[in-house]
Each structure stands twice: as structure tokens, then as C-alpha cells.
A = this chain, B = another copy of it.
């Protein structure tokens, strides 16, 4: 399991050659380490420019490919706010997102103890939920 300790995220070199059956190429390690390093919900473009610092030859298409690989292997979550560009989040625990309308900053929001959303919805009988996204927008305190 990859450490989520905010104070010491892995460098690309520290990432193993394979995670959960996903081959970690040089580029995927770079992209993953960027997403793990600054947990500020970067867009693909953000990831691209941060990756370029260490790996100037990486292409935007590759960043998209790597993010897609990481997302589909469940190592990274894709976060959408309305029609804004997708953002990427390495926090795999059950949570949702709140966007501060003043600053655009996105905060992770966790559910209270033992809450299971599906318990609160009148879902059609026999529904199997495979994907759930909750997005909040608003202001914080005196902002």
C-alpha cells in the first residue's frame, strides 16, 4: 500500500515496478508521484506541468493515459465539478468534495461514522450502485 502521509510522499523512484497488476512505467510513476505529492486536486494540465519539471519530455497525452490507467486501476480518483476540467485525488478513503467558491480550492469531506449514503436514498429495487460522486459548492466561514 502506498503511503498517504502528507509529509513524505514517494519519489517516482521509490514506487514499485507494479501496483495492483498495473505496470508502473517511468511515466506512470512520475504522474502518480505528482498526484501523491501535492494533494490539491490538480487537473491533468497541472499534473502535466508538474511532471515536466522532473521529466521534460513527457507529453500531455501520456499524462492523460497515465491518469486514466491509475484511475481505472483504482489508485487515483477522478473528481468532477460540473463542467470544469477533471481533477485527480489520491485519497482512496470514502469521501466527497467541497469546492470553496471564493478560492476554487477543493476540500475532501468525509462521512460521519457509519453513514452509508445508499441507506438514505429511495433507490429503485435491485439497483446496484457501482459509482457515486457527491460534489458540494459553497463558502467557508467569513469568506
- Residues on A facing B (Cβ under 8 Å): 78, 80, 82-83, 86, 96, 98, 101, 107, 109-112, 115, 117, 119-142
Closest partner residue, chain B, to A126 (CB atom): B141
Picked from B86, B112, B125, the residue with its CB within 8 Å of the CB of A121 is B112
Q: Which residues of B contact A82 (CB under 8 A)?
A: 78, 80, 86, 133
Min Cβ gap A99→B in Å is 9
A140–B121 touching, CB < 8 Å: no
Known: A83-B80, A83-B86, A127-B140. A110 touches B122 (CB 8 A): yes
Interface of A is mostly: strand
Distance (Å) between the CB of A102 and the closest chain B CB?
11
> 6 extra interchain contacts, Cβ-Cβ under 8 A, other than A80-B83, A117-B120?
A109-B121, A123-B136, A126-B142, A130-B138, A133-B134, A134-B135
Cβ contact within 8 Å between B107 and A112 = no
Tell which of A96, A119, A133, A136 has the most Cβ of chain B within 10 Å: A136
Known contacts: A109-B121, A111-B120. The answer to whether A101 contacts B83 by CB under 8 A is no
* Distance, CA A97 to CA B37, complexed state (A): 33
